[in-house]
Structure 1
């Protein structure tokens, strides 16, 4: 975590369908008097937390603030274990993002970095709402469709022992799930050994007995695809993945070909978390893109 810039954190009220919830966020740097766009970071899952993305605070400077937050239902934001599956929608999370932008008064000029599911959220925000203030979109280890993602994961899983394949196919609360997931993820999600504490914290918040898998269990992205809507993305977009990434080339290629102004960076030696695996190279690539 970047200790060279000031850190503030707290909760933002978020009213949705007549109820008010709390969104937890961290801000690295100063939002007042900035000379560059704030970078808003969208975590993956859906159902993880901001913790595993804390290395992205490296991008914060005296002039570029970075905002991380826990999406509703996760981490230190309001948990809603009794909500029906239909409550958890892409529009819910877009509305929460809009609320955050308005709270900080940055909706007129900002950048977005979305990781994995966060890339889906960033894309849908751009395509559905056409936000006037969005200047750059970083789609890191994201996907163009769930079908392509599942196909790639199946190919990768075929090389693993049967117990891993069975555990990965088990339900979210099945005790076989987490050991199998960690075995698969050690190669295709985060190849740093041991995992950074921040990464372990995020997964523990979902997959352990004390965790909350409500959002991850909901069908938020079931059948999702944006391939036929990519022409609606107006802003310069950076696509990042790696050779061992669960978001294989076949999963991200449509993003590069479908977005009018897209750049594709394939980082050697990385899987799904290049911001830990090749941290300095990753930050350089993102900084260079956001400065354009």
Structure 2
């Protein structure tokens, strides 16, 4: 079986989904790899233990202070069980703002913590890690958040539970507001897959063999159709897929779907939204039609348009960032 950083090529229904081998040093596309960045690891002390948080940031001048940009840096929160790499297109914003990425615990190059049971993985844990990142960079008093998929859930819960005074604006990109509605949509999308692929998914889910290569190959077809329609897949997206398919480390996703109940009960409309009314917010949704180029990852399918919208939003909310009181929600459909 392939390890987390080496995946097999699979072709099902004519869609090439992964290359024969992908090394970490070759994972960046040309446009991203030409940008300067700084990287390292942040110690995260928790309950007498110390863990590592891997970070990477891009900016107008990586040797200068992160706070040299008046509007504050943009901190990016990735999807569940993944790494930050598939979101590094957001480095396109670096000419105008500092963009900070990090891998959440259990993912990417941060501490994987294979020995931790499901009770360890809580929303409060990920909030504490985010707060530690903000503290490390000295930006708790002035920062922006962009959350994609689960990252948007994390950002929303962070705001609701902590009411961070330094948060200047929020971008929720392709984030579900309700587990129930998300599950209904996913079920409808799966019915559009070829019958052979549907059969493979159902067979392994019923048998509890979802860690097999056969099941993962079928899921890659789903992602090629409903996740990222850029073909061939960008190297960063492939690398993140390899990380999320790590057969040795499924615990984060299992915990999120277990004690966090993100797969069945989470609904931001009832508890979270009332606590977010003071935060200028941009909602980025998706066109789910068959002809759409960016159903779940518009940062790839509509890269230039996506960056223009986010950059303009940050610029607009940045003018009166420290005194802005009125709730602002812009909804942009990619």
TM-score (norm 1): 0.86
SS in 1 for 2:213: coil
User: Partners of 1:286 and 1:177 in 2: how far apart?
Assistant: 36
Pick aligned residue for 1:13 from 40, 43, 54: 43
Task: After TM superposition, give the deviation of residue 16 of structure 1 in Å.
Answer: 1.7
- What is the aligned length? 269
Q: Which moved more, 1:115-124 or 1:32-41?
A: 32-41
User: Partners of 1:32 and 1:3 in 2: how far apart?
Assistant: 24
Is 1:43 aligned to residue 87 of structure 2?
no
Maintained 8 Å contact 1:42/1:69: yes
* Shift >3 Å, 4+ stretches: 1-6, 166-169
Is 1:224 aligned to residue 266 of structure 2?
yes
Aligned residue for 1:271? Answer: 295
Task: After TM superposition, give the deviation of residue 245 of structure 1 in Å.
Answer: 8.0
Q: Which moved more, 1:281-290 or 1:3-12?
A: 3-12
RMSD over aligned Cα atoms? 2.0
Maintained 8 Å contact 1:187/1:244: no
Aligned residue for 2:54? Answer: 24
SS in 2 for 1:26: strand
Distance 1:180 1:22, change over 3 A: same
User: Partners of 1:2 and 1:55 in 2: how far apart?
Assistant: 7
User: Partners of 1:78 and 1:245 in 2: how far apart?
Assistant: 38
Maintained 8 Å contact 2:83/2:244: no
Pick aligned residue for 1:148 from 181, 184, 189: 181
Pick aligned residue for 1:237 from 271, 281, 284: 281
Structure having the higher Rg: 2
Aligned residue for 2:328? Answer: none
1 or 2 for the larger relative contact order (CA 8 Å, sep ≥6)? 2
User: Partners of 2:289 and 2:237 in 1: how far apart?
Assistant: 16
Pick aligned residue for 2:219 from 168, 173, 181: 181
Q: Which moved more, 1:272-281 or 1:4-13?
A: 4-13
Distance 1:167 1:82, change over 3 A: farther
Unmatched 5+ stretches in structure 1: 247-266
Aligned residue for 1:205? Answer: 243
Distance 1:289 1:167, change over 3 A: farther
Q: Deviations over 1:228-286 (max 9, x none)?
A: 1212102011111222289xxxxxxxxxxxxxxxxxxxx95321000010100000011
Unmatched 5+ stretches in structure 2: 1-30, 317-334
Pick aligned residue for 1:215 from 239, 245, 252: 252
Maintained 8 Å contact 1:6/1:28: yes
User: Partners of 1:205 and 1:166 in 2: how far apart?
Assistant: 25
Aligned residue for 2:194? Answer: 161
Maintained 8 Å contact 2:143/2:166: yes
Task: After TM superposition, give the deviation of residue 59 of structure 1 in Å.
Answer: 0.9
Maintained 8 Å contact 1:245/1:270: no
SS in 1 for 2:283: strand
Q: Which moved more, 1:188-197 or 1:173-182?
A: 173-182
Distance 1:198 1:10, change over 3 A: same
Maintained 8 Å contact 1:167/1:181: no
Maintained 8 Å contact 1:52/1:199: yes
